[in-house]
Amino acid sequence: MCPLIELKTVSTVYEGAKVPSIKNITLRIQPGEFITIVGPNGAGKTTLLETINGLLPSEGVITVGDMNLKTDGTRIRKRIGYVPQEFICDSLTPFIVEDVVMMGRYGKIGLFKSPTRKDRYIVQEAMLFLSVDVLRRTPVGKLSGGQLQKVMIARALASEPEMLLLDEPFSNLDMKSRSELAEKLTTLNENGLTILMVIHDRSSIPPACRRIITMEQGKIVSDKHFKVMP
């Protein structure tokens, strides 16, 4: 099968840093995979995610389908949903939940066009899926950490991505929400969505996940495929 995303000897150095935060990463991700990345703090997990969607400039070659990240970054990002590790917004932020979820689609809708009824429907569905539809008129600055996390996931889904990059999506969630989110991700994956997720504690890896990548000091130290989760 032709990989959805391929990284060939990719390294990323933050501006002003002396050593690369990820070094010579080579990785192939097939469409439909559900991958979890684990590793200690500072291992380079976040850096890897932001390198894959081109938010961080890197060396090496990254291709998504037949597109090259260096030349087609903006088009590639329209196909990838991203949920950052922690998103802070101040209490005066002048946007409500509904707006923020819709923003996830703005890139896809494109310049000079307004959201259509179909766009609003998809946004509505994304909010329902994450059970944040009751918060739709709430200013995002007034959400709890866990609520905001769910809104950010709904926002990423609203763009109907082919692939989802999730950076510690469980971190702010209570036990019940964690297992609910794990189930939801499983459903999405069963429907064909490719998922690459960073997680801190291995105990919350969903059973649907079939591949675990371990990172340490900017390198992939193990990459294991499972038929059934151990």
Partner 1 sequence: MSELLILAVSGAILTGVSCSLVGSFVVRMNLSSLGFAMSHAAFAGAALGLVLSLDPLGLAIVFSIGVALLLGPLAEKANLPTNVILGVIFSLMISLGLVFLNLIPQTAMSSVALSILWGSILGMTVTSVLRLLVLSVGIVLIYWLFFKEFQAIMFSRKLAEASGINTRPFYYLILFLTGITVAFSLKLVGGLLVFALMVNPASSAYQFSYDMKKITIVSPIIGVLCCISGIAISFLADLPVGSSIALVSSAIFGAAVVLSPKRKRG
Query: Given the rule CB under 8 A, which residues bind partner 1?
Result: 14-16, 53, 55, 74-75, 77-80, 82, 84, 87, 89, 91-96, 99-100, 103-109, 111-112, 114-115, 139, 141, 155, 159
Q: Does 21 bind ligand ATP (CB under 6 A)?
A: yes
Could you tell me which stretch among 44-52, 92-100, 102-110, 178-186 binds ligand ATP (CB under 6 A)?
44-52
Query: What sign results for the dihedral spanned by CA atoms 142, 147, 151, 156?
Result: positive
Q: Rule CB under 5 A: is residue 58 a binding residue for Mg ion?
A: no
Distance CA 177, CA 185 (A): 12
Q: Which residue is nearest to Mg ion (CB)?
A: 46
Separation of CA 1 from chain center: 23
C-alpha to C-alpha distances, 89 to 2, 15, 83, nearest whole angstrom: 39, 25, 14
Binding positions for Mg ion, 77-136, rule CB under 5 A: 85
Q: Is 113 exposed, middle or buried (0-12, 13-18, 19+ CB in 10 A)?
A: exposed
Look at strands 59-64 and 5-12 and give their pairing.
Answer: antiparallel
Which of ligand ATP, partner 1, Mg ion, none is residue 57 near (CB under 5 to 8 Å by kind)? none
Q: At its nearest, how many Å lie between partner 1 and the CB of residue 150? A: 15
Binding-site partner at residue 177 among ligand ATP, Mg ion, partner 1, none, CB < 5 to 8 Å by type = none
CA atoms within 13 A on the CB side of 89: 20
Binding mask 74-113 for ligand ATP (x = CB under 6 A): -----------x----------------------------
Of 10, 25, 35, 45, which one interacts with ligand ATP (CB under 6 A)?
45
Are 211 and 32 a contacting pair, CB within 8 Å? no
Q: How far apart are CA 172 and CA 19, in angstroms?
A: 31
Total number of residues that touch ligand ATP (CB under 6 A): 12
Question: Site residues (CB under 6 A) for ligand ATP?
Answer: 14, 17, 21, 39, 41-47, 85
